[in-house]
């Protein structure tokens, strides 16, 4: 049984994991870089160890240093959170070779899903619909042109190793195809160390809808419904909600079935997310699988009542799932807003600096997952996400009203944040009507700013 967990992460997700550890009477170990000496995860953990200088490559990405601390402090398991080493198969393998439990899927499952092209192939075998597209593009440029016109413009050129909204290029017509292709390849080579690119049909006005799954080591897989993540800026999520205002019950069931087949096809274990794109005719396609806990997991927790970190730990202990599919339902409505240290009025420039004052919203239906406090200096080195505001209410419209009230109370001074920007999203007609797709922010930018 897991008695002590090292959390190989920082920020809000490290705090969130440590909270569940304490509730489960499991000892937690924090690691921190020099920039995070005073961070909340360091304070809340039972033990904390310095891991290196501020740059991630020398701290939160330093596999050997993390494993060494885990061994020395007698941890049983390592929880990677999201980002950093969470989808790094080499790390998962190293952790296991060191005799520790990696709280996540096998290295094989990470590898299978980590490469977009390979994942597409696997999904096709498992009869999960994928976005129409190709395999690795050949060197022959005439052939590439042929492939693109067969799919039909616009097309997307994607890096197989891409992630985090990077490594995608939209091509509207054949005259731009080859130059974009060349640029995509060289960019992919320098950003991801892998220049494999492929073509995908560009879906117009799509929804990004994803399914949370949990799988144990005994062949059981359940889903915990969907998250609608179409409010995005530069392919990065800003607001997520569940249930999706767009999905019909019939399509929900259909997608859930495919999400479960997807997980089963790679012998998945742990918490994972199957992302789909859906067009306006409700046709859906597998986009990718994230083999870790996601930023937006709390909205699922809020409507199902399941603590996903606790479920991950039970699974890592080799226990069979504690829940049956039939016991789960989506109760009420949850919305998450990502609060970023950024300046929406200056091109969303990420910020850092001293928090002079912070007061978080309280009252009915609130949850904030954050890590900053008064007097805290937000470091420049990491993701600008400082907090997640998760609202629950019995209905969607009450959840929006409550989100507005919460944002009214939410005060942070000293650094710039996107709180006012999110308030405007809550006031936008298309958002209120649940009538939005992934272009919502760019199309409403004048209203939102
Ligand atoms: P990443 O791994 O970088 O997050 P994804 O493949 O998950 O990239 O795509 C991120 C977002 O990019 C999607 O949510 C969607 O908004 C947009 N996108 C990706 N592929 C397509 C496509 N074929 N057509 C239209 N939009 C797409």
pLDDT (tens digit per residue) in 241-288: 999 999 999 999 999 999 999 999 999 999 999 999 999 999 999 999
231 vs 438: CA distance, rounded Å: 6
Q: Is 275 in the pocket of ligand 1 (CB under 6 A)?
A: yes
**Cβ contacts of 324 within 8 Å, gap of 6 or more:** 222
This complex has an ipTM of 0.95
CA of 165 to the centre of ligand 1 (A): 7
Catalytic residue among 16, 169, 252, 292: 292
Asked whether the beta carbons of 347 and 320 are under 8 A apart, the reply is no
* Whole-number percent of the chain with pLDDT over 70: 100
pLDDT at 274: 98
Token pair for residue 289? 């699988």
For 122-172, the pLDDT digits (tens) are: 999 999 999 999 999 998 999 999 999 999 999 999 999 988 778 899 999
Among residues 201, 186, 212, 192, the alpha carbon closest in space to that of 277 is found at: 201
Q: Kind and range of the H or E element at 125?
A: helix 116-125
pLDDT digits (tens, 9 = 90+) for 203-235: 999 999 999 999 999 999 999 999 999 999 999
What distance in angstroms lies between residue 64's CA and the mean position of ligand 1's atoms? 33
Question: Does residue 251 contact residue 284 with C-beta atoms inside 8 Å?
Answer: yes
**Contact assessment for residue 181 and residue 148, using Cβ atoms and an 8 Å cutoff:** no
Q: Could you give the dihedral angle defined by the CA atoms of residues 420, 426, 428 and 434, in that order, rounded to the nearest 10 degrees? A: 150
Q: Rounded CA gap, 159 and 196, in Å?
A: 6
Crossing angle of helices 89-97 and 107-114, in 10° steps, is 170
Residue 128 structure tokens: 């999960």
Mean confidence (pLDDT) of the chain: 96
Q: Whose CA is nearest to atom 17 of ligand 1?
A: 235
182 is catalytic: no
Write the CA distances from 405 to 118, 136, 256, 384, 443, integer angstroms.
45, 49, 33, 24, 25
Contact 211, 276 (CB under 8 A): yes
């Amino acid at each position: 049984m897991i008695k002590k967990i090292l959390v190989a992460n920082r920020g809000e997700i490290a705090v969130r994991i440590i909270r569940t550890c304490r509730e489960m009477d499991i000892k937690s170990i924090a690691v921190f870089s020099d920039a995070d000496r005073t961070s909340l995860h360091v304070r809340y953990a039972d033990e904390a160890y310095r891991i290196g200088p501020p740059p991630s490559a020398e701290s939160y990405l330093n596999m050997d240093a993390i494993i060494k601390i885990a061994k020395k402090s007698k941890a049983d398991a390592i929880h990677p959170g999201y980002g950093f080493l969470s989808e790094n198969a080499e790390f998962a393998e190293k952790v296991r070779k060191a005799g520790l439990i990696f709280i996540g899927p096998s290295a094989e499952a990470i590898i299978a899903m980590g490469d977009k092209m390979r994942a597409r192939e696997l999904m096709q075998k498992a009869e999960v619909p994928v976005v129409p597209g190709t395999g690795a593009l050949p060197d022959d440029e005439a052939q590439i042109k042929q492939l693109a016109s067969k799919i039909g413009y616009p097309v997307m050129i994607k890096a197989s190793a891409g992630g985090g909204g990077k490594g995608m290029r939209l091509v509207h017509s054949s005259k731009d195809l080859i130059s974009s292709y060349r640029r995509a390849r060289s960019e992919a080579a320098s950003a991801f160390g892998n220049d494999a690119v492929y073509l995908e049909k560009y879906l117009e006005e799509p929804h990004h809808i994803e399914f949370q799954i949990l799988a144990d080591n005994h062949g059981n897989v359940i889903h915990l419904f969907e998250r609608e993540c179409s409010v995005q800026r530069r392919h990065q999520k800003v607001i997520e909600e569940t249930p999706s205002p767009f999905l019909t019950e019939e399509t929900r069931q259909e997608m859930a079935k495919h999400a479960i087949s997807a997980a089963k096809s790679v012998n998945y274990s742990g918490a994972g997310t199957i992302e789909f794109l859906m067009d306006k005719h409700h046709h859906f396609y597998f986009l990718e699988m994230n083999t870790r806990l996601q930023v937006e997991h709390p909205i699922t927790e809020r409507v199902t009542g399941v603590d996903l970190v606790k479920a991950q730990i039970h699974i890592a202990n080799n226990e069979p799932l504690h829940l049956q599919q039939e016991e789960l339902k989506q109760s009420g409505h949850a919305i998450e807003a990502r609060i970023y240290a950024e300046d929406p009025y200056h091109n969303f420039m990420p910020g850092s600096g001293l928090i002079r004052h912070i007061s978080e919203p309280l009252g009915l239906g609130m949850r904030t997952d954050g890590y900053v406090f008064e007097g805290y200096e937000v470091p420049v080195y990491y993701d600008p996400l400082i907090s997640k505001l998760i609202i629950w209410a019995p209905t969607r419209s009450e959840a929006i009203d409550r989100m507005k009230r919460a944002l009214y109370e939410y005060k942070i001074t000293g650094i710039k944040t996107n709180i006012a920007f999110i308030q405007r999203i809550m006031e936008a007609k298309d958002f209120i009507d649940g009538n939005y797709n992934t272009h919502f922010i760019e199309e409403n930018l004048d209203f939102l700013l």
